[in-house]
Structure 1
Amino acid sequence: MEQTSGDASDIFDSIVLLDETLCQEGFKDGYRDGLKTGEEEGREVGLKMGFQVGEELGFYQGCVDVWNSLIQVDPGSFSSRLQKSIQQLRDLLKKYPLLDPENEHVQEMMDAMRLKFRIISANMGVKLEYKGYPKSSKQGMEDM
């Protein structure tokens, strides 16, 4: 049995069509799986980063609260310049957009708080620094 040139082109057309169909199905499957995986990974990263930001903001807020308590007990405990810096840090903390993480100014605000905190610490003559949540001693031993 001899095949005509029309039969041969029909066979190649069906092979090309099958290949394109399989490529499209593979792309759709991969895209769907990628969206699902990307969403899950994005949620995990967002939760982790949100926790870290909240932790740092809480550290600064705790320091401001302690300093303000000292000022209430003994108004002369800090210079007026230092009290003004503490007030400015408190204002920065209040303005931080906790419920708007996509705010374009979030990083600028965090940088301003870090700088203000360093200035306050330096003016007090103490070395306070936020280094993140301390790991348990068991975790510390595993890292060695």
Structure 2
Amino acid sequence: MADEFDLEALVHLEQTFYDAGYTDGFAHGRIHGLIEGRALGREKGFEIWEEIGFYEGFAITWQAIYAKHGHNDQRAVHHIKHLLDLISQFPRINPSAAAVSSGTTEEIDISKLQRQIRSRYKALCASLGVKPTLRATEAGTTEEGGVSGTDQQKQVWKLEEDARRPTMQGLSF
């Protein structure tokens, strides 16, 4: 009976359980890390493209205004052209996944490109005489960036009664 009892295994019992728990926890954490990483990537990717899409729509709108009315402000036209050029360079697919599938290792510095787009947008706004708006204010925040006491949405236009044409709800159009 003394030959079957392994005293060495008893000495390392705590380390054995620790190693087994670490292995199981690492595998479990890897699965949840991938799930959370994908969800966060989707959310941040949407935020980036929402911003880039705003800049693109802004530039295309002003390009159409200048084309329709025949304005000849070369500085604004130059900024519009370069802003749209920078936006066209922004990747529309995951660059790391595309590099793996195509075999290329060319890295795109997304944050640098995004800073260049923001700078060109600000320059375009300055040449147009328009105040740049980089982010829409979220519900529950004040214009100074602080959190307000209520979570109510801000009204875009103040609705007042029109004494000339009253309606049943007190709104006029």
TM-score between both structures, scaled by the size of structure 1:
0.80
Query: 1:16, CA displacement in angstroms?
Result: 2.6
Unaligned stretches of 5+ residues in structure 2 = 97-106, 141-147, 153-173
> What are the residue-to-residue correspondences of 1:51-70 with 2, within 5 Å?
51-70=46-65
Identity over aligned pairs, percent: 27
| Partner in structure 2 of residue 96 of structure 1 | 90
Q: Segments of 4+ in structure 1 off by > 2 A? A: 16-21, 100-104, 134-137, 140-143
For residue 19 of structure 1, report the CA deviation from its aligned partner.
Answer: 2.6
Name the aligned partner's letter for residue 86 of structure 1. Answer: I
Distance 1:123 1:44 in 2: 39
User: Higher RCO, 1 or 2 (CA under 8 Å, sep at least 6)?
Assistant: 1
Distance 1:129 1:136 in 2: 16
Q: Distance in 1 between matches of 2:34 and 2:85?
A: 35
| Aligned-CA RMSD value | 2.5
Tell me, which stretches of 5 or more residues in structure 1 are unaligned? 1-5
Residue 84 in structure 1 maps to residue 78 in structure 2: yes
CA distance in structure 2 between the partners assigned to 1:21 and 1:119 by the alignment: 63
| Higher normalized helix content (fraction of residues) | 1
Task: Find the counterpart in structure 2 of residue 47 from structure 1.
Answer: 42
Aligned residues: 133
Q: Distance in 2 between matches of 1:35 and 1:46?
A: 16
With over 3 angstroms needed to count, the CA separation of the structure-2 counterparts of 1:95 and 1:104, relative to structure 1, is: closer
Secondary structure (helix, strand or coil) at the match of 2:83 reads: helix
